[in-house]
Amino acid sequence: MTISLADFLSQITVNPMLAVTVILTLGVILVNGWTDAPNAIATCVSTQAIHPRAAIIMAAVFNFLGVLVMTIFNAGVASTIYNMVDFGGDPHESLIALCAALLAIVVWATAAWWFGIPTSESHALIAGVSGAAIALHGGMDGINASEWIKVIYGLLLSTVLGFVMGWLTAKTVQYLCRGMDRGKTRGVFNKAQIAGGAAMAFMHGAQDGQKFMGVFMLGIFLAKGNAAVGEFSIPVWLMILCSAVMGLGTSIGGYRIIKAVGMDMVKLERYQGFSADLAGAGCLLLSSLTGIPVSTTHTKTTAIMGVGAARRVSSVNWGVVKEMVLTWVLTFPGCGVIGFLTAKLFIWVF
Q: Indicate the DSSP class of residue 311.
A: H
Given this model, what pLDDT does residue 253 score?
58
Given this model, what pLDDT does residue 263 score?
58
DSSP string for residues in 107-134: HHHHHHHHTT----HHHHHHHHHHHHHH
In a domain, 193, yes or no: yes
DSSP string for residues in 132-173: HHHHHHTSGGGB-HHHHHHHHHHHHIIIIIHHHHHHHHHHHH
Residue 347: strand, helix, or coil: helix
Which sign does the torsion angle of CA 251, 253, 259, 260 carry?
A: negative
Given this model, what pLDDT does residue 168 score?
92
What's the rounded Cα separation, in Å, for the pair 326 and 322?
Answer: 6
Give the angle subtended at the CA of 270 by the CAs of 256 and 159, to the nearest 5°: 60
pLDDT of the chain, 350 residues: tens digit per residue: 678 888 888 888 888 888 888 898 888 888 777 776 667 777 787 777 888 778 878 887 888 888 777 777 666 666 666 667 776 667 777 788 888 888 888 888 777 767 766 667 777 878 888 888 888 878 887 787 777 777 777 777 777 888 899 899 989 988 888 777 777 777 788 888 889 888 888 888 877 777 788 888 888 887 877 766 666 778 888 888 887 888 777 777 556 666 655 556 667 788 888 888 888 888 888 887 777 777 777 788 888 888 888 877 777 777 767 777 777 778 888 888 888 888 888 887 77
In a domain, 316, yes or no: yes
DSSP helix, strand, coil percent of the chain (3-state; round to 5): 80, 0, 20
Given this model, what pLDDT does residue 157 score?
75
**Which residue range is the domain that position 23 belongs to?**
5-137+147-349
Q: Which residues of 235-246 are buried (b: 16+ CB within 10 A; e: fewer)?
A: beebbebbbbbb
Total number of domains in the chain:
1
In a domain, 142, yes or no: no
Q: Are 113 and 256 in contact (CB under 8 A)?
A: yes
What's the rounded Cα separation, in Å, for the pair 37 and 247?
Answer: 8
In a domain, 241, yes or no: yes
What's the rounded Cα separation, in Å, for the pair 350 and 331?
Answer: 27
In a domain, 41, yes or no: yes
In a domain, 110, yes or no: yes
Closest listed residue to residue 324, CA positions, set 260, 259, 250: 260
Given this model, what pLDDT does residue 87 score?
66
What's the rounded Cα separation, in Å, for the pair 157 and 199?
Answer: 19
In a domain, 129, yes or no: yes
In a domain, 306, yes or no: yes
In a 13 Å sphere around the CA of 167, the CA atoms on its Cβ side amount to 15
Given this model, what pLDDT does residue 317 score?
74
DSSP-assigned beta bridge partners for residue 180: none
Q: Are 117 and 86 in contact (CB under 8 A)?
A: no
Which sign does the torsion angle of CA 330, 286, 31, 86 carry?
A: negative
Q: Are 100 and 237 in contact (CB under 8 A)?
A: no
Given this model, what pLDDT does residue 88 score?
63
